[in-house]
Structures are given as structure tokens and as C-alpha cells.
Structure 1
Amino acid sequence: MHSKPPTRSRRAIWRASAIAGAVALLASGCASDSVKRGYLPGFDDGEVTNHTGTITHLWVGSWIAALFVGVVTWGLMLWCIAAYRKRRDDHQLPVQTRYHLPLELMYTAVPILMVLVLFYYTDRDMSQIQDTSAEPDVNIQVIGKQWSWDFNYLDDGVYDSGQHLIDVGGQTEEDEVDGAPGTSAALPTLYLPVGQTVQFQLDARDVIHSFWIPAFLYKEDMIPGRTNTFQVTPTREGTYAGKCAELCGEFHSGMLFNVKVVSQEEYDAHMEDLRAAGQTGELGLDLNRHQDPPATDDLNLEENER
């Protein structure tokens, strides 16, 4: 005789699943803005760029889909454990199934369908984010170098140059710009006008770098001998941290910069300040490294010899 799965177990499982779903739905309705955007960097008073909303929705949607698949998988596993567990008066082996064609077709077709859906939404959003067909309002060339940044404001014919931060761990809140975490007054600052479409031209002088502004939820590689471009429209004024996202050498951790999204008037004033300081023209791609830190190995060697 074969044991019959008790209906009480099934009812209990369905009841528990319904309660768990209701709790999850209620929790999502009461979640904070940080939870709703999947703990991605962001602010409660608006999106940072015209792309951050799209990226956030793709991220959160992917996690919701993954959670749904997980709940279904866990539910089926628990149901099998409860419904087909061995009972005291059951001493026979369960029916041995060698193959089940409909089931095999299902767990082959469903994952393929899931991948195709995820691919569709990812390709749609990435094509939108990487589209550079619009006429930009501002053109800026960013040059990555070991271990800092140069900014050429191409439309205004001025530039700004930076040095890497040697003592990264020694920075305090007093060093931050406008109280923004990850920024420092010792770092170069990239100025962007709010509400204007900016086209970035990304180049590298020496090794591969990666231009990353975490608050923008986007980064792009900088490869020697190759120019990458992307467009973005900052929509929220503020100060943000920027960094290199590609391990590029000994002082990679100090390859940081600030980003200030400001009004058009403040942006124009900064361009005039650079022009008044004599920083006109463009910085080229000639290989150079500015202000390397002192060679401590020689000092340590002299100390050991003593």
C-alpha cells in the first residue's frame, strides 16, 4: 500500500504561504525610500540624473523576479518534504519514476523564458542609457591617469587638473565638501550644470581606469587608445563623490574626485575662474604622473642599515 499525503499538511502549507505573501506585501508598502530603491545610492528629494530611475527600476525588478522564483522553489521543496515524508506505518519504497517528460520540458522552458525576459528588459534599459544620439548641451573630456583626473571643458576652452589623495585614511568629516561622504577639499572637482545634457568623452593616459560616480548609478571604462562616450543629464543639485572603479596600480585608492551639480550661473562662474587662473586650452594624452608620493622604501632601508 502507498501512503496518502494528508490534506492537512497541504492546507497548512498554503495557509503559511498566503500569510507570508500578505506580510511581504504589507512590508513593501511600509518600506522606506531606501528599501524601495533596493538600497542603491539615492536621495528622497528626487533622482540624481535622468537615468537613475531607470537603473533603479531594473535593479529592483530583477530582485523581485529572483525573490518570486525563490519563493516558488522553496515552497515546492517544503511541500515535497511535508507531503512525501516517511510515516510510521509506511514501510514501502515510494514509486520510482525514471523520467517525466512534461516536467522535464517545464524546467527547461521556464528558465529559458526567465532569461529571455531579463535579457529583454536589460537590453532595453541599457540601450536607452548608452544612447548618445541627442545633441549635448555640454561636452567634457575626462582623462584618467595614475592616479588622478584631468577635466577638459571643451565648449569653454578651459581645464582643471588634479592630484591623487595620498592619505585616504586620514580624511575626516571636516575635509568633506558640503558634508558629502567620500568627498575631500584636497581632490579635483568636476562641475556639471543641472538640467543640461552632458556628453562625457573618456580617455586614459596609461592603464585602464573606470569613471564612476556612485550616485549616478553608472560607470564606464577608460581604456588607453580608445575613447568611450556617454550622455547624462544631472537633475539634482548637490555634491557627490567620484572614484576609479578599476584597480589601476599602487595608489588606486587615492584616485578620487568630487562632483558638483550646480546652477548654470554657478557653472559659468567656475568656467570664468578657471580662465582667470590661466587654465585655458586642453590637456593632452601624453603619459605623465604628477607628484608621486615620497619613496618610503629607501627611508626604511636606511633605517634598517642603522
Structure 2
Amino acid sequence: MKLAVLAVVAGLLLSGCSDIGDNDLKRLALPVAGSDRSHTMWNVWLGAWIAVLVVFLLVFGLMVYAMIRYRRRSADEVPVQIRYNLPIEALYTFAPVIIVAVFFFHTVTSQNEMLEKVKNPDHTVEVVGSKWQWAFNYLDEGATQGEDVYDIGTPEEPTELWLPVDESVRFNLISPDVIHSFWVPEFYFKMDVVPGKINTFDMTPTREGVFTGRCAELCGLYHSRMIFKVHVVSKADYDAHLVKLEKAGQTGAPKGAEEAHTIAGLNESGEG
């Protein structure tokens, strides 16, 4: 009963929070949500905060109760020394098990929702993560008469990823060298880019803007420079960007890994 009361109190304290709140406090330190999958992860994040607040109120309350109930009341009095307390010991044993079980359940269900596939995604982007740059191949896009085009950059001049707002995108993640991790904080999602394996996920950007993506896996010497910009724009601006890439001759698939071993701006090799 007490746990239920604490949960209600914690829920009330956090009821004004939102993944699209106008300040960091309301978003509980997360960025403003930017995809259709963000709300699922937000629910897990909010639930974790509620659990933390419940545990804090419970433990702090017990500490204050013990200090008042069993305090020394006179100079010569020795407070009662309790050797054990079965209800408290049972609480400390079973409560963590219940908390972990609840977290596990919601983590699995949320993961399934985050990774749910779109039957016919509007766009497909192949993400190539290599030391130490990103390449984005836009596959079978109508704006270029079905010809694939790509964006590519260097650690000195990071590449850009362009996405149309409110249209579904399938990301296929590949790596020619080591494990990287594709992460855009506003999407509340990241996934490892593993050599020899194609990882994939679907997502729909829900608000326009320019975001910063990065590699979230320690991948080598210049891991910190492995960033990229994400432009979520209107469909017209997205198509115009693909046409621009086509006119610039950026068609087919980029060399990617062959160019990735030279650290731009430093005139040295990143191999070894």
C-alpha cells in the first residue's frame, strides 16, 4: 500500500513532463523528440524516473523514521538495538527483484516497438560507418530517376544526412572495418554498425530541423571526430538535395572505406 502511495506521488510530481516540453527539466534532460519512435523510449525514461523517485522517497523516509523513532532520548539511555526486522528485510529482498522484473518487461516491449518494421518504407538509406567518417547512400530515389546518390564527408568536413519529414525511412547499417554506432539523440535511438552484418531499423522523422549525429561506440583514435549533421526537411527540399548530388556526380556507391584511412586535415594515416 505504501509503495502504491509513493508511486502515485511520484507520478503526480512527474506528470507535467513531456518529450516535447519547452525546457530541459520538463524533458528530464532529453532533447526534444524528433521521430515517431521517440515516444516509446520516452515512456521507458519516464518510468525509470518514477521508479527512482519511489525508491528515493521510500529509503529516505525509512531513514528519517529510524532517526526519530530510535533516537537517544537521554544521556544515559542506549537506544534499542534491533538485530533484525523481518518486514524490512523482506522488502529489501523482494522489492529489487520486482523492480528489475518490471524494468525488464517494459524494456523488451519497448524494444519490440522501436524495432517494428514498416511494411513499405517511403525511403531506404544505406549507412556506411568507417574509420572515421560516415557515408549515406540514398537508394532507389524517384527524384533521380531511380539512380542511387550519396553523401560523404571526412573528419575535417563531416558529412550530412538529409531526411524528409513525416515520411518513413529504412536504415541499413554496414561497416567495412570496426564496430561503430549510429546515434541521433533527437531520435532517442542508436544501433551498432557491425562488420559483416547488416543491422536495420525503420523510423519516421516528425519535426524539421538540423540535428547532430555521432558515433556512440569507441571505434579508434579519431572516434570523437566521427560526427554528422542531420537535416530533416520538407519533401521538396529533400528531392532538391538528391538532384544536387546527382548533378555533382555523386551517383552509385562511394568508395568509403578506401578513403577512410587518411585523416583529413592531418595528412597522416589512421591505419594500425
- For the pair 1:125 / 2:110, whether they are aligned, the reply is yes
Preserved contact between residue 70 and residue 79 of structure 2 (Cα < 8 Å) = no
Preserved contact between residue 237 and residue 262 of structure 1 (Cα < 8 Å) = yes
1:54, distance to aligned residue in structure 2 (A): 2.1
What's the counterpart of residue 213 of structure 1? 184
Q: 1:235 aligns with which of 206, 223, 233?
A: 206
1:83-136: CA deviations, max 9, x gaps?
101121663562544x44444333322221111112222221111001225321
Number of matched pairs: 252
Give the TM-score, by structure 1 length: 0.74
What's the counterpart of residue 86 of structure 1? 72
1:225-268: CA deviations, max 9, x gaps?
11111111001011111111122222222211111111111111
Preserved contact between residue 159 and residue 280 of structure 1 (Cα < 8 Å) = yes
Inter-partner Cα distance in structure 1 for 2:16 and 2:191 = 34
Give the TM-score, by structure 2 length: 0.82
Q: 1:253 aligns with which of 197, 215, 224?
A: 224
Q: 2:128 aligns with which of 143, 147, 155?
A: 143
1:253-272 to structure 2, matched below 5 A, reads 253-272=224-243
Q: 1:73 aligns with which of 59, 62, 80?
A: 59
Inter-partner Cα distance in structure 1 for 2:29 and 2:90 = 37
Go from structure 1 to structure 2 and tell me whether the alpha carbon gap of 1:274 and 1:62 turns closer, same or farther (over 3 Å shift). same
- For the pair 1:195 / 2:181, whether they are aligned, the reply is no
Identical-residue share of aligned pairs (%): 42
Q: 2:252 aligns with which of 275, 281, 294?
A: 281
User: What SS is found at the alignment partner of 2:195?
Assistant: coil
User: What SS is found at the alignment partner of 1:260?
Assistant: strand
Preserved contact between residue 191 and residue 261 of structure 1 (Cα < 8 Å) = yes
Preserved contact between residue 40 and residue 113 of structure 2 (Cα < 8 Å) = no
Inter-partner Cα distance in structure 2 for 1:262 and 1:249 = 32
Inter-partner Cα distance in structure 1 for 2:94 and 2:268 = 61
- For the pair 1:204 / 2:195, whether they are aligned, the reply is no
Go from structure 1 to structure 2 and tell me whether the alpha carbon gap of 1:295 and 1:96 turns closer, same or farther (over 3 Å shift). same
Go from structure 1 to structure 2 and tell me whether the alpha carbon gap of 1:250 and 1:76 turns closer, same or farther (over 3 Å shift). same
| CA RMSD of superposed structures (Å) | 2.8
Preserved contact between residue 37 and residue 57 of structure 1 (Cα < 8 Å) = no
Go from structure 1 to structure 2 and tell me whether the alpha carbon gap of 1:96 and 1:239 turns closer, same or farther (over 3 Å shift). closer
Inter-partner Cα distance in structure 2 for 1:58 and 1:261 = 25
Inter-partner Cα distance in structure 2 for 1:27 and 1:64 = 7
Inter-partner Cα distance in structure 2 for 1:194 and 1:280 = 23
Inter-partner Cα distance in structure 1 for 2:228 and 2:242 = 18
Inter-partner Cα distance in structure 1 for 2:151 and 2:95 = 53
Preserved contact between residue 210 and residue 219 of structure 1 (Cα < 8 Å) = yes
1:154-204: CA deviations, max 9, x gaps?
122111221112xxxxxxxxxxxxxxxxxxxx4311110111111100111
Which entry has the higher C-alpha Rg, 1 or 2?
1
Q: 1:39 aligns with which of 29, 34, 49?
A: 29
Q: Which runs of 5+ in 1 are unaligned?
A: 1-17, 166-185, 298-306
User: What SS is found at the alignment partner of 1:34?
Assistant: coil
1:140, distance to aligned residue in structure 2 (A): 0.4
User: What SS is found at the alignment partner of 2:260?
Assistant: coil
For 1:51, the aligned partner's letter is: R
1:289, distance to aligned residue in structure 2 (A): 2.0
Preserved contact between residue 130 and residue 257 of structure 2 (Cα < 8 Å) = no
1:76, distance to aligned residue in structure 2 (A): 0.5
Q: 1:159 aligns with which of 139, 150, 166?
A: 150
